[in-house]
Amino acid sequence: MSDELISEMELPIQPVSEIVAEDNKIASEISELSKQGYQLLKENLVEEAKAAFGKILTIEDNNNYALVGLGDSERKQNHFHEAVSYYSKCLTFHPGNNYALFGLADCYKAMNQYHKAIDIWEQYLIHDDRNITVLTRVADAYRKIRDFKKSKELYLKVLDMENENAYALIGLGHLHYDFKEFKDALYYWTKMLELNESSVDIRVLTSIGNCHRKLKTFDKGVYYFERALQLDPNNFYALFGLADCYRGMNQQFRSVEYWNKILEMDPKNKVILTRAGDAYRNTGDYKTAAEYYNKAMDIDFDIYAALGLALICKGEGKYDEAIDRLTSLLHNDPKNYRLFIDLADCYLKINQRDKAIELLRSYSKQGLRSQAIIDMLDKIENNRR
């Protein structure tokens, strides 16, 4: 018998019981480190959690708990690309790991890569097509890529399984609102409100208010925005909604009140300064209106503030100055039908009817269409103005 063979035969063999005990010890250590890592994550001690998950990888390469844990840690810090690497590595060695799939899809969603997120979630749905959490997330993603049909289909599937599911009701509200189906959006958000009257979410109230604002049922919108302000007196969306509703009801003095409340918190908000300027102008307070428009223009050029200043000139009978201002604006924004309307009206005020007609006709020559311009041109040409 050769020396090599004798030497090999004489090697001690480790008892099976010792191997099992050692494996159990390793499994126990990994389990404890995993629990420790996730507890640290819950306490927002992310770097410490990473260290715990990293220790697992020194014990067992490509451990699924460690890779998912590291992915979750990076995702918590909004390091989505790094998180994607960990989740993808986990799926390479542990295909079908639900936690890695969820994390990976959520990363793609956070990076606005909705098509990739949908692909991953739909892989999961092949095996479990009744998971409400995944269904609502896929429906949300389809909504983000404006696939109305698929999004609605999935939200409704969730409601078939759980007819008061808040995520599906809110999602359907947003979906219909995004597609300007305001009555349908109102239906779902109102249902959401009815189910949660005792603990109403301010966002539901402002969403319902916005539906009424879009439907021009301004008085109803006021009710919901006021309810929202009772919960948060400084809520921007409620203040904006109230101001805009009062503007729609032609109660400019009330509108100004809420525009100014927003400006107390955000004095350099160019859009709100212009809206407040419009409100003052519509009450005939040209001096204050001009102050607001000029404040907006000092921040940055704003066509609506510039238009407001031109309309003040028009309102004060300074038609030549108004024409100069509007003509200048028209060069910068040649498709804005409002500029054509106001400029044509100025020409009519100084008895230059032909110029008004020529101007309005030039709009359609650009291949553009506006019913307001068609109506105005018809009235002028048929001497009904």
Asked if residue 344 has pLDDT above 80, the reply is yes
Domain 24-111 matches domain 127-198 at the CATH topology level: yes
The pLDDT of residue 18: 47
Q: What percent of the chain has pLDDT over 90?
A: 81
Question: In whole angstroms, what is the distance from residue 358 CA to residue 342 CA?
Answer: 14
Which element (helix H / strand E) includes 172?
A: helix 166-178
CATH of 127-198, one of 1.25.40.10, 3.10.620.30, 1.10.357.10, 1.20.58.1290: 1.25.40.10
The pLDDT of residue 168: 96
pLDDT band for 2, please (50, 70, 90 cuts). very low
Question: In whole angstroms, what is the distance from residue 93 CA to residue 354 CA?
Answer: 78
The pLDDT of residue 199: 84
- What would the mean pLDDT of 201-211 be, rounded to a whole number? 96
Q: Please choose, from the candidates 131, 69, 60, the residue with its C-alpha nearest in 3D space to the C-alpha of residue 103.
A: 69
Q: Please choose, from the candidates 241, 190, 201, the residue with its C-alpha nearest in 3D space to the C-alpha of residue 218.
A: 241
The pLDDT of residue 308: 96
The pLDDT of residue 29: 83
Domain assignments of the chain as residue spans, ordered by start: 24-111, 127-198
- What would the mean pLDDT of 168-181 be, rounded to a whole number? 96
The pLDDT of residue 1: 45
CATH of 24-111, one of 3.90.75.20, 3.30.360.10, 3.40.30.10, 1.25.40.10: 1.25.40.10
- What would the mean pLDDT of 318-343 be, rounded to a whole number? 94
Residue carrying the six token digits 């609506």? 304
